[in-house]
Amino acid sequence: MKANNITIIGSGNMGLSLAKGLVKSGLYTADAITLTRRSLGGLKEFAAQGFQTSIDNAEAVKNADIIVLAVLPQQVNKVLDEIKSSINPKTQLFTSVVSGVTCKNIKEKLYDDLEVVRVMPNTAIAIQQSMTCFATDNASAESLEKVKQIFDTVGITIQIQEELMTSATALCACGIAFFLRSIRAASQGGVEVGFHAHDALKMAAQTAKGAADLLLQLASHPEHEIDKVTSPKGCTIAGLNEMEHNGFSSAMIKGIKTSAKIAGELYTKE
Ligand SMILES: NC(=O)C1=CN([C@@H]2O[C@H](COP(=O)(O)OP(=O)(O)OC[C@H]3O[C@@H](n4cnc5c(N)ncnc54)[C@H](O)[C@@H]3O)[C@@H](O)[C@H]2O)C=CC1
Ligand SMILES: O=C(O)[C@@H]1CCC=N1
């Protein structure tokens, strides 16, 4: 199926993950997606797969129904200056995955009446498993539905208040790294207790996936599921308490709070 044309400005980790996920989902064909980057070198593989590629942001946004801004926060102002004259606020929907940049920041640089939706996916979007949060301060219900439809094809979406977008960044976007590090640590423990690294990583990853699915598929609470694992005087509670004595939950909570704080400080207007 071919939906509207979409242009992704800044095709790095997130932009390319999004592009791959949209094609894999079947909602977009590669030729309906334009990818921009500062040099075409990093996009060769994508051009070969049928994506449109360009280094000219202003030209690339002209025919887009939906624009996705996916550059780093410090690159935003330059890009918005470049594309301003090519944007049509009456017909185009502007979305941004940039951390710490508000809808208002974008409209101040572009047009007051431009519909802007802030979206916060994570890199699991490449395999259609993203947790994506989105928010707006002016987009219509129809535009929000369009954004939801797009991102529903590459994972699960939730609309939130815009002031919670930096919190969502920490919990869900940075969260991919936090959970991956937990899995990596578990696999290192697995090696210490006797497994080859390759096996230990696979065993830890599948165990983590099973734990997450217990919550998602059964709509269960972590402590309820933990109670089923911890036999009295058993080895689970011994290991779990040892982790807690060493600050396991506290480290995760403090890390998420720090990430959320930094996410809110990433954009400087000038
Ligand atoms: N990586 C992640 O997991 C997530 C990232 N984000 C946000 O997505 C944005 C991008 O992050 P990443 O993809 O990780 O960074 P990245 O550095 O991998 O990608 C940025 C891309 O923008 C390109 N770029 C820079 N200036 C440009 C210009 N003038 N014109 C065209 N392209 C230009 C760079 O060449 C690079 O490929 C950031 O604002 C980040 O906060 C949001 C959610 C998750
Ligand atoms: O680390 C970062 O700043 C970006 C935003 C969320 C995930 N990666």
For 201-205, which contacts have Cβ atoms below 8 Å and span 24 or more sequence positions? none
User: What is the pTM assigned to this prediction?
Assistant: 0.93
- H/E run at residue 67: strand 66-69
Question: Which of 46, 71, 154 has most ligand 1 atoms within 8 Å of its beta carbon, as the pocket-test mutant?
Answer: 71
- Please tell me the predicted confidence (pLDDT) of residue 269: 65
- Taking the centre of ligand 1 as the mean of its atom positions, its distance from the CA of residue 12, in whole angstroms, is 5
Q: What ipTM was assigned to the predicted interfaces of this complex?
A: 0.98
Q: How far is the C-alpha of 212 from the C-alpha of 244, rounded, in Å?
A: 20
- pLDDT < 50: residue spans in the chain: 1-2
Nearest residue to 66 (alpha-carbon basis) of 163, 134, 159: 134
Q: How far is the C-alpha of 38 from the C-alpha of 11, rounded, in Å?
A: 9
- Please tell me the predicted confidence (pLDDT) of residue 3: 58
Q: How far is the C-alpha of 117 from the C-alpha of 14, rounded, in Å?
A: 16
169 CA: nearest ligand 2 atom? 6
Residue 1 near residue 27, CB atoms below 8 Å: yes
- What domains are there in the chain, each with its CATH number? 6-165 (3.40.50.720), 175-263 (1.10.3730.10)
> Which residues lie with the beta carbon below 6 Å from any ligand 2 atom?
99, 169, 173-174
- Please tell me the predicted confidence (pLDDT) of residue 1: 40
Residue 111 near residue 85, CB atoms below 8 Å: no
| C-beta neighbour count of 85 within 10 angstroms | 7
Residue 82 near residue 59, CB atoms below 8 Å: no
Tell me the three state secondary structure of residue 94: strand
Q: How far is the C-alpha of 134 from the C-alpha of 161, rounded, in Å?
A: 8
